Structure 1
Amino acid sequence: MAPRTWLSIDGLHAGDVVGILEDGTATLPLTEQAVMVQLPSGLQLVDDDEVTGWTVVCSCTSSWDAPRWARNFDGGQADPERRVDGLRAGHPCNPSVTVAEALWKAWKAHSDREVAVTELHAARRAHEETARRLANAVAASRAIELQLSWAEIGSAVGTSKQAAHERWGRVKTGAGQ
């Protein structure tokens, strides 16, 4: 398995396959060269046979619970229903294509969901700001210095004079209406 990092379409999420050790510690992202763990004392090299499973991590700060796959040291085919992959002792600990694809799909579903939620929040904030700007523009247009008619305002915002008046007729202008 070549080193890889998956990136979300907004660039805010990066996913990596990591190994899981018997004590539950996650390794650094897996590469073809070495298996490493980050300890308080620094990086430590880990033997491939110490990896007992795999999962995927995301760079975001959500509390996403990624799926975990167990390693069957006796070998055999991957079993997606049980989330077990056969990989004999003495072999590099990189997961099979089946496991890597399953982990990618899980991460992709997570990151797509997070991107959608982020976009919804951004759209809501933009909508609120646009509504404030529009209300302020209408109030300024009705100010005594400009005195735009409701027909002119309606035309400028793409509605009728009656709809414009119903929506913003009570907006305070500071100089009266």
Structure 2
Amino acid sequence: MSVDHPGHEGWDAPVLPGGWYGVGAKDGRALARRFADAPGPLQEDGEASVQDGRHVVGWQAMCECGWRGPRWTRVDQVQDADEQSRLVHVPDLDSYGDAPDHIVQAIYDEWQEHLEPPLLLAVRDASQEAAAAQDRLAAAVAAARAEHSWADIGAVIGISRQAAHERWSKITG
């Protein structure tokens, strides 16, 4: 999983011993970094390290905004597994340390939950679109004002001459 959202990029990070987190792949193995635990965007503590993903101790959702999901811990014994507690038995891993598909999906779902709720995201997007439309309207009015009266401009958008003048006269002079 590596997904983008305005202001966010999230991924399912393999967790390796020693505080290393997977950030990609290189030379057939996991490319890992350590990150500062300070709030805010993730900060790199040092150079990247290429590590054997078969040593993964778990997985965690990470986001470039600094948010981290709860850790999914890899357990050695099948009887110790409890997915409600985020304990998973994954006996064989490849050298990248990729999580099983159902864990990737669970991590993606956790990452999605930390984003803005969809209805609020729709409100924000609509607000940005409305502001852009208002800017285009003001530019069109300014251009039209060179050749047309306030009465003409008001008539085409369904408002009075006076309302058009009050709304746009400061931008058109």
TM-score (normalizing by structure 2): 0.62
Aligned residue in 1 for 2:59: 54
Cα 1:70–1:103 shift into 2, 3 Å: same
User: Over residues 103-130 of structure 1, what are the superposed CA-to-partner deviations in whole Å (9 max), with x where a residue is unaligned?
Assistant: 1223344567599377356425414523
RMSD: 3.8
TM-fit CA distance, 1:53: 1.0
Which of residues 93, 98, 101 is equivalent to 1:94?
98
> What one-letter code is carried by the residue in structure 1 that aligns with 2:62?
V
TM-fit CA distance, 1:153: 1.9
Aligned residue in 1 for 2:43: none
Trace 1:132-143 onto structure 2 (pairs within 5 A): 132-133=138-139, 136-137=142-143, 140=145
Q: Is the 8 A contact 1:17 1:30 kept in 2?
A: no
Tell whether 2:20 aligns with 1:19: no
Cα 1:132–1:56 shift into 2, 3 Å: same
Aligned residue in 2 for 1:73: 76
TM-score (normalizing by structure 1): 0.61
DSSP 3-state at the match of 2:82: coil
User: Over residues 49-73 of structure 1, what are the superposed CA-to-partner deviations in whole Å (9 max), with x where a residue is unaligned?
Assistant: 3x21101334xx4233333211112
DSSP 3-state at the match of 1:95: coil
DSSP 3-state at the match of 2:102: helix
Whole-Å separation in 2 of the counterparts to 1:104 and 1:76:
26
Cα 1:123–1:149 shift into 2, 3 Å: closer
> May I ask how many residue pairs the two structures share in their alignment?
153
Trace 1:95-174 onto structure 2 (pairs within 5 A): 95-110=99-114, 116=121, 119=125, 122-123=128-129, 125-130=131-136, 132-133=138-139, 136-137=142-143, 140=145, 146=147, 148=149, 150=151, 152-157=152-157, 159=158, 163-170=159-166, 171-172=169-170, 174=173
Where in structure 2 are there 5+ consecutive unaligned residues? 35-45
Where in structure 1 are there 5+ consecutive unaligned residues? none
> What one-letter code is carried by the residue in structure 1 that aligns with 2:31?
M
- Between Structure 1 and Structure 2, the one with more helix by share is 2
DSSP 3-state at the match of 1:156: helix
TM-fit CA distance, 1:148: 2.1
